[in-house]
C-alpha cells in the first residue's frame, strides 16, 4: 500500500514512521509512505495556508487553493486513483472495521488540518472525513499517524504469522485476558496457579472467562456485539448487574 500524507508540519512524521513495525513494513516494501509539505503548493511570499473566516469568528481556516493543488499533484502520481481521507474532528469515528476496509486499498492520501478547520469547499475532494475520537487535538497529524499505524499492521507480511492468526481467530469482540511473565511471584502478587499448570484446556477456558469478565466490567457496551455462548452471556450479565 502507498500512503501520501499532506501537512504543514511534515517534520512531525519521521520518528514514528521510521520506528518499529511501521519502519519494518516500509523497509520490506509492504508499505510506502511519502510526506508532503503543503507549503509547496502555496504561491505567495509568506507561503500562506490559512486565512480569516468569512463572517468573522475566532481562529483561522485552511485555505482551499493549496490543498486543491496538492491533491491534483499527489493524486496524479501512480496508476490507481487514491482514496482521499480528510482528518477532521467532524469525521466518522475510526473503528477497526474501517481500518480493515482501508487496509485493503492500494493507495491513501491523508490530508491533515491545522487551525480551526478546512474551507468547506475542500470537502468535495475527499472520499472520507475521519476522526480518531471525541477529544480535541491541535491538528490532523497525530490522527494521520494513528490511521497509518493501524492500517500498516494489517498489510500482508507485516505482522508475524502467529500474530495474524491470532488477529483472525481470537478476540471476537472481547478485551484481552490478563497476561503475566516471569517472575511467578512479584510485589506480593502471584501468577494464577492455572497458568503454571501446563493444562492447556484449563488455561484456554480460564483466559476466555477472564476476557468475558474484563469486557463486562470495563466495556459493557461491547458485550451486546461480542460472540458469546449462552453461558458466557449469563456470566457477563451477572457482572454488569453487579457493578452497573
Ligand atoms: C471549536 C471547534 N473545534 C472543533 C472540535 C475546532 C477544532 C479543534 C481541533 C478544529 C480542529 C482541531 C484539530 N483537530 C484535528 O484536526 C483532528 C482531530 C481531533 O482533534 N480529534 C480527533 N480526531 C481528529 S482528526 C483531526
Are 86 and 204 within one domain? no
Q: Which of 96-100, 120-124, 134-138, 169-173 has the lowest mean pLDDT?
A: 169-173
Domain final residue pick, 104, 120, 152: 152
Give, in degrees to the nearest 5, the angle at Cα 95 between 89 and 101.
110
Are 96 and 25 within one domain? yes
The runs of H, that is alpha helices, within the chain are 14-18, 20-28, 64-76, 96-103, 141-152, 161-169, 200-218, 220-223, 230-243
Residues in contact with 22: Cβ distance below 8 Å, sequence separation at least 6, in sequence order? 16, 31, 33, 148, 149, 152
What pLDDT is stored for residue 244 in this prediction? 59
What pLDDT is stored for residue 194 in this prediction? 98
Give, in degrees to the nearest 5, the angle at Cα 157 between 155 and 161.
115
With H, G, I as helix, E, B as strand and everything else as coil, classify residue 52.
coil
Q: Is the Cβ–Cβ distance between 222 and 173 less than 8 Å?
A: yes
What pLDDT is stored for residue 161 in this prediction? 76
What pLDDT is stored for residue 163 in this prediction? 79
132 lines ligand 1 (CB under 6 A): yes
Cα–Cα distance list, 98 to 83, 130, 217 (Å): 13, 10, 26
CATH classification of the domain holding 191: 1.10.1270.20
124 lines ligand 1 (CB under 6 A): no
Give the C-alpha separation, 55 to 147, whole Å.
33
Tell me the CA–centroid distance for residue 134 and ligand 1, in Å. 9
Q: Which of 5-9, 65-69, 74-78 has the lowest mean pLDDT?
A: 74-78
Are 141 and 39 within one domain? yes
The answer to the question of residue 40 being in a domain is: yes
Domain final residue pick, 127, 152, 177: 152
Q: Identify which of 91, 137, 147 to mutate to test ligand 1's pocket (most ligand atoms within 8 A of the CB).
A: 137
The answer to the question of residue 27 being in a domain is: yes
Q: Is the Cβ–Cβ distance between 77 and 3 less than 8 Å?
A: no
Closest CA to 151 of 93, 92, 100: 100
The answer to the question of residue 65 being in a domain is: yes
Atom 13 of ligand 1, residue of closest alpha carbon: 139
Domain final residue pick, 152, 185, 220: 152
Tell me the CA–centroid distance for residue 225 and ligand 1, in Å. 29
The answer to the question of residue 161 being in a domain is: no
Are 107 and 33 within one domain? yes
Are 88 and 120 within one domain? yes
Are 94 and 198 within one domain? no
Looking at the predicted structure, is the pLDDT value of residue 25 above 60? Answer: yes
Note the pLDDT tens digit of each residue in 227-238. Answer: 999 999 999 999
What pLDDT is stored for residue 77 in this prediction? 87
The answer to the question of residue 148 being in a domain is: yes
Are 197 and 82 within one domain? no
Looking at the predicted structure, is the pLDDT value of residue 156 above 60? Answer: yes
Are 58 and 121 within one domain? yes
Within a 10 A sphere around the Cβ of 113, how many other Cβ atoms? 23
Q: Is the Cβ–Cβ distance between 91 and 131 less than 8 Å?
A: yes
Q: Is the Cβ–Cβ distance between 87 and 112 less than 8 Å?
A: yes
Give the C-alpha separation, 42 to 160, whole Å.
43
Q: Identify which of 50, 88, 90, 134 to mutate to test ligand 1's pocket (most ligand atoms within 8 A of the CB).
A: 88
Q: Is the peptide bond before 183 cis (omega within 30 degrees of 0)?
A: yes
Closest approach atom of ligand 1 to CA 131: 23
Mean pLDDT of 28-36: 98
Number of independent structural domains in the chain: 2
What pLDDT is stored for residue 152 in this prediction? 98
Mean pLDDT of 202-217: 98
Are 119 and 6 within one domain? yes
What band does 111 get if pLDDT is binned at 50, 70 and 90? Answer: very high
Domain of residue 136: give its range.
Answer: 2-152
Mean pLDDT of 101-118: 96
Are 138 and 174 within one domain? no
What pLDDT is stored for residue 170 in this prediction? 53
Mean pLDDT of 27-47: 98
Atom 1 of ligand 1, residue of closest alpha carbon: 116
Looking at the predicted structure, is the pLDDT value of residue 90 above 80? Answer: yes
Are 126 and 15 within one domain? yes
What pLDDT is stored for residue 79 in this prediction? 85
Are 25 and 125 within one domain? yes
Mean pLDDT of 156-160: 94
pLDDT > 90 fraction of the chain, expressed in percent and rounded: 91
Amino acid at each position: 500500500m502507498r500512503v501520501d500524507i499532506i501537512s504543514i508540519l511534515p517534520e512531525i512524521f519521521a520518528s514514528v514512521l521510521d520506528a518499529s513495525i511501521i519502519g519494518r513494513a516500509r523497509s520490506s516494501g509492504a508499505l510506502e509512505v511519502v510526506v508532503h509539505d503543503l507549503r509547496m503548493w502555496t504561491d505567495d511570499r509568506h507561503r500562506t495556508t490559512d486565512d480569516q473566516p468569512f463572517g468573522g469568528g475566532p481562529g483561522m481556516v485552511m485555505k482551499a487553493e493549496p490543498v486543491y493543488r496538492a491533491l491534483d499533484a499527489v493524486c496524479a502520481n501512480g496508476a490507481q486513483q487514491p482514496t482521499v481521507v480528510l482528518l477532521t474532528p467532524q469525521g466518522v469515528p475510526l473503528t477497526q472495521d474501517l481500518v480493515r476496509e482501508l487496509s485493503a486499498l492500494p493507495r491513501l492520501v491523508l490530508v491533515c488540518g491545522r487551525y480551526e478547520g478546512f474551507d468547506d469547499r475542500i470537502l468535495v475532494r475527499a472520499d472520507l472525513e475521519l476522526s480518531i475520537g471525541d477529544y480535541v487535538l491541535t491538528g490532523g497529524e497525530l490522527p494521520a499517524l494513528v490511521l497509518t499505524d493501524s492500517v500498516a499492521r494489517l498489510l500482508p507480511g507485516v505482522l508475524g504469522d502467529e500474530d495474524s492468526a491470532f488477529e483472525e481467530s481470537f478476540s471476537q469482540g472481547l478485551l484481552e485476558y490478563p497476561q503475566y511473565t516471569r517472575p511467578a511471584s512479584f510485589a506480593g502478587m502471584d501468577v494464577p496457579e492455572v497458568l503454571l499448570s501446563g493444562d492447556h484446556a484449563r488455561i484456554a477456558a480460564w483466559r476466555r472467562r477472564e476476557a468475558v469478565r474484563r469486557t463486562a466490567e470495563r466495556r459493557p457496551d461491547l458485550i451486546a456485539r461480542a460472540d458469546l455462548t449462552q453461558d458466557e452471556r449469563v456470566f457477563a450479565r451477572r457482572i454488569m448487574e453487579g457493578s452497573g
